[in-house]
Structure 1
Amino acid sequence: MHTPLEFVTHSLLIGLLATALADLCAVFQKRVLGMQVANWAMVGRWFGYIAKGQWRHANIAQSAPIAGEGLIGWSAHYLTGVAYAALLLAISGMQWVANPTLLPALLVGIGTLVAPFFMMQPGMGLGVAASRTPKPNVARLRSFTAHSIFGLSLFAAAWLLALVQ
């Protein structure tokens, strides 16, 4: 039987490592492939305004900056990764940690597209599923790619954790 502390510990370890692995892939995409990647300061700005009671913006980039928005955005990014790892463990069970498989992690990673498509992007003025961006399908594909990589990273993080246990 697994304890709540084990659940929290594994969620933290898998979530933080998976997010870091996904970020390494984003660095590669940006530096080597020249792809645009997420701007976590804009996410921090959005969260900063949520704390002030404003959820929606016509264009988050045109809203006044929030003090510490970069730190807020990066912190939210990593905390969200931990929350998604906890979701994966809640769905798959703690036995998954000892013998991780790709499909549950990949499905959770892709499933997390719900948040940016229906909460963050509309709230930031980008429309549902990036419908108000200059190239919506490109933006959607970038989101899909990033969240698929995060799903693969959840699996890789759990696999690495299983190796050291």
Structure 2
Amino acid sequence: MKTYLELLTFSLVIGIGATLIMDIYALMIKRFFNIPSLDYRILGRWIGHFKNGIFSHKNILQTVPINNEKAIGWLAHYLIGISFAFLLLLIWGIEWAYHPTFWPAITVGLLTTIAPWFMMQPAFGFGIAASKTPHPTTARIRSLKAHAIYGIGLYIAALLLSIVLS
């Protein structure tokens, strides 16, 4: 029983911490380089249309907005971050949270790029790995950077948690 509680608690702490680090990075590149990150209203709009049985769009930006799409998008963003932390702990074991190492965290972080490239971007109408956007290579590099930062965030959050646990 303790292990399940640890798994859930550690996933929450590490996932929220890593996602927060990813968001701080996004704020910094917006502030200093004027490079925007994903507007989570788009994610919320996508999820909001699930109730109507609509899972993909020709262009999500031209799809009718839904109520509370920004809040839904931000909540989903953090729940996804927590879910990927949960996956990391399932693969490497709960013991990893007590003695975190860098490579599992960065590996999971980079592998999470699969979700936007092959699920979200095609469903938004942006094509596989942003192939239908005006600058696909730029979009891909930005996505890889953001998810690498998430992976670094997984490691930092786990490291901080391990200090608290020791």
TM range (shorter): over 0.9
2:53 corresponds to which residue? Answer: 53
Q: Which residue of 2 aligns with 1:14?
A: 14
Taking the aligned partners of 1:10 and 1:16, their CA distance within structure 2 comes to 10
- Aligned-residue offset at 1:56: 1.0
1:98 paired residue number: 98
Contact 2:16/2:82 (8 A) holds in 1:
yes
Kept after mapping to 2: 8 A contact 1:2/1:94: no
C-alpha offsets along residues 6-41 of structure 1, whole Å, 9 cap, x if unaligned?
110000110011111110111001011211211100
2:27 is the alignment partner of 1:24 = no
Contact residue 12 and residue 82 of structure 1 kept, 8 A:
yes
Q: Which amino acid aligns with 1:3?
A: T
TM-score w.r.t. length of structure 2: 0.97
Shift of 1:2: 5.1
**1:93 positional shift:** 0.6
Per the TM alignment, residue 164 of structure 1 is displaced from its structure 2 partner at its CA by 1.2
The correspondence of residues 67-146 of structure 1 with structure 2, limited to 5 A, is 67-146=67-146
Q: 1-side partners of 2:36 and 2:142: how far apart?
A: 8
Q: What does the per-residue CA deviation read over 1:56-84, in whole Å, with 9 as the maximum and x for residues that have no partner?
A: 11110110100000000000000000000
Aligned pairs, number: 165
Provide the residue aligned with 1:163 in structure 2: 163
- TM-score, scaled to structure 1: 0.97
- For residues 78 and 22 of structure 2, what CA distance do their matches in structure 1 show? 11
Letter in 1 for 2:122: P
> 2:29 and 2:58 mapped to 1: Cα distance?
29
Query: For the Cα contact (< 8 Å) 1:59–1:126, is it kept in 2?
Result: yes
C-alpha distance in structure 1 between counterparts of 2:103 and 2:52, whole Å: 39
Counterpart-to-counterpart distance in 1, 2:104 and 2:65: 38
Structure 2 gap ranges (5+): none
Aligned Cα root-mean-square deviation (Å): 1.0
Q: Unaligned 5+ residue runs, structure 1?
A: none
* Over 4 Å off, 4+ runs: none
1:107–1:151 CA contact under 8 A, matched in 2? yes
Identical aligned residues as a percent: 47
Matching residue of 1:148: 148
Contact 1:126 1:133 in 2 (8 A): yes
